[in-house]
């Protein structure tokens, strides 16, 4: 028994924390903070605080939700609402952060930012095909043995990424390109920097990923000898605090560097362009090679986590298909989607994020507070139902112009802006969710009071 339930060493805790950090820190986690720094300029701190709420605090809460409910994955988080909802939610989450949007983005971002500048223009399409094939081949190779995922990421890939990123930080702060407090602020960030930073944090997809990675983290901890659910929950929570705290520091540094870069460069179309400009400024052609390795490694670690989580969850709930078959399915599907193109992927993923993020946020908060109302499905139902309405409006408004600018899309947006509080900030789900929570909790405690009264009468 001692061999099965031994106390983890500091090295093992560090290994789990390193793996968790690497799973979270991927494609968007490098480029979105840099771009946020450029957009917010002198208002970088307010924007950063908003960004940290959705890019750090929410993912940490998602890890805690897995710990508190002893969930094995995203399915268990939605389980209080029934099997059908839990399965649907699991499929939507894994589809969005998996082969439809998130996983392909790990390959397209690493290629577009790191490799494409080194490839002749007339070979770009072929280059992406070859690169994404090798990329997802490696993702499959490193995740095919579930027991080795923690070692492959925590021991091998993550240290390479951190060393290269530390080099970029050292150069950026040794010879800063400008003073961040003196840089121009874009119109959107002049008055609503916090809320715009909050919405930018959606793009990292980390709150969704935190729910999906639950099964991978639990599997990894069990591989280290932990079997007791309470012990697994405690290790998950501690690793989450460490890894997300470290990630917050990196985000702040990237946002500051993005703001400083305005002293030398103009506002770029995205953070990938900014990163490319920075490394070429400091290191020239060698910098581009370093950037290619840096961003490919960090994207690969996230891709490994995403394909493994997809395969583990789907095998768990559809056991007639093996883990390896699901793994092959998601890697091949991600390869095909990646070759559609980065801009198209982002334009169609944003609406799904605007719909799923509010649902994920309320489910995370419900999971954390669930001991207070004994995971009563009625409370869950009211909160989720009331949240779905504004989430649908947000999704329609975020679609490409073919939908959002249609007569139907404009009518929905007009209604949303007129009648839903905080709609202009993208926070129109907050008030309905709170109303749903109040109704659900009143229902719960009235029911408890009636049951207590009935029990007292029966005893007498």
Q: What is the DSSP letter of 318?
A: S
Q: How far apart are CA 215 and CA 213, in angstroms?
A: 5
User: For residue 91, what pLDDT band results from cuts at 50, 70 and 90?
Assistant: very high
- Interatomic CA distance for residues 337 and 108, integer angstroms: 10
The set of residues, in sequence order, having a beta carbon less than 8 Å from that of 135 and lying 6+ positions away, is 106, 107, 110, 111, 296, 299, 300, 303
Which carries the bigger pLDDT value, residue 195 or residue 28? 195
Judged by average pLDDT, the poorest of 209-218, 350-359, 432-441 is 209-218
Angle subtended at Cα 221 by Cα 377 and Cα 161, rounded to the nearest 5 degrees: 110
pLDDT tens sequence across 408-455: 999 999 999 998 998 887 789 999 999 999 999 999 999 988 887 877
CB atoms within 10 A of CB 7: 9
pTM for the model: 0.80
Q: Is the dihedral of CA 372, 378, 381, 387 positive or negative?
A: negative
pLDDT band at 31, cuts 50/70/90? Answer: confident
Q: What is the pLDDT of residue 37?
A: 95
Pair 51, 200: CB distance under 8 Å: yes
Name every residue whose Cβ is closer than 8 Å to that of residue 127 and which is 6 or more positions away in sequence. Answer: 111, 115, 116, 119
Is 306 within 8 Å of 106 (Cβ atoms)? yes
Angle (CA) 436 439 441, round 5°: 105
Q: Which of 262, 40, 110, 261 is nearest to 172 (CA)?
A: 261
């Amino acid at each position: 028994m001692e061999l099965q339930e031994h106390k983890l060493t500091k090295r093992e805790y560090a290994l789990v924390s390193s793996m968790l950090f690497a799973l979270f820190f991927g494609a968007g986690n490098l480029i979105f903070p840099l771009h946020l720094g450029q957009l917010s300029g002198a208002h970088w701190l307010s924007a950063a605080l908003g960004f940290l709420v959705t890019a750090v605090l929410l993912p940490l809460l998602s890890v805690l939700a897995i710990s508190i409910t002893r969930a094995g994955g995203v399915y268990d988080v939605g389980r209080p609402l029934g099997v059908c909802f839990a399965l649907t939610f699991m499929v939507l989450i894994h589809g969005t952060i998996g082969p439809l949007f998130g996983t392909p983005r790990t390959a397209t971002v690493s290629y577009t930012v790191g490799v494409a500048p080194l490839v002749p223009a007339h070979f770009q399409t072929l280059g992406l095909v070859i690169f994404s094939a090798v990329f997802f081949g490696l993702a499959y190779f490193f995740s095919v043995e579930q027991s080795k995922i923690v070692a492959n990421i925590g021991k091998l890939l993550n240290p390479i990424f951190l060393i290269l990123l530390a080099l970029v930080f050292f150069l950026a702060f040794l010879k800063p390109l400008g003073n961040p407090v003196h840089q121009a602020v874009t119109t959107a960030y002049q008055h609503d920097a916090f809320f715009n930073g909050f919405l930018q944090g959606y793009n990292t997809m980390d709150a969704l990923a935190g729910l999906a990675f639950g099964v991978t983290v639990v599997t990894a901890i069990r591989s280290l000898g932990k079997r007791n659910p309470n012990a697994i929950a405690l290790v998950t929570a501690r690793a989450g605090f460490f890894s997300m705290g470290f990630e917050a520091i990196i985000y702040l540094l990237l946002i500051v560097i993005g703001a400083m870069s305005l002293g030398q460069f103009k506002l770029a179309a995205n953070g990938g362009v900014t990163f490319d400009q920075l490394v070429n400024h400091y290191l020239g052609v060698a910098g581009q090679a370093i950037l290619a390795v840096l961003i490919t490694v960090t994207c690969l670690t996230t891709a490994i986590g995403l394909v493994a989580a997809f395969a583990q969850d789907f095998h768990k709930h559809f056991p007639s298909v093996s883990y390896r078959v699901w793994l092959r399915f998601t890697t091949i599907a991600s390869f095909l989607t990646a070759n559609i193109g980065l801009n198209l992927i982002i334009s169609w993923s944003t609406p799904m994020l605007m719909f799923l993020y509010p649902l994920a946020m309320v489910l995370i908060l419900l999971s954390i507070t669930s001991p207070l109302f004994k995971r009563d499905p009625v409370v869950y139902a009211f909160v989720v139902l009331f949240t779905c309405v504004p989430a649908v409006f947000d999704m329609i408004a975020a679609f490409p112009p073919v939908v959002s600018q249609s007569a139907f899309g404009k009518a929905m947006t007009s209604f949303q802006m007129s009648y839903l509080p905080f709609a202009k900030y993208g926070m129109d789900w907050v008030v309905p969710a709170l109303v749903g929570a109040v109704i659900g909790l009143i229902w719960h405690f009235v029911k408890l009071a009636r049951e207590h009264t009935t029990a007292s009468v029966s005893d007498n």
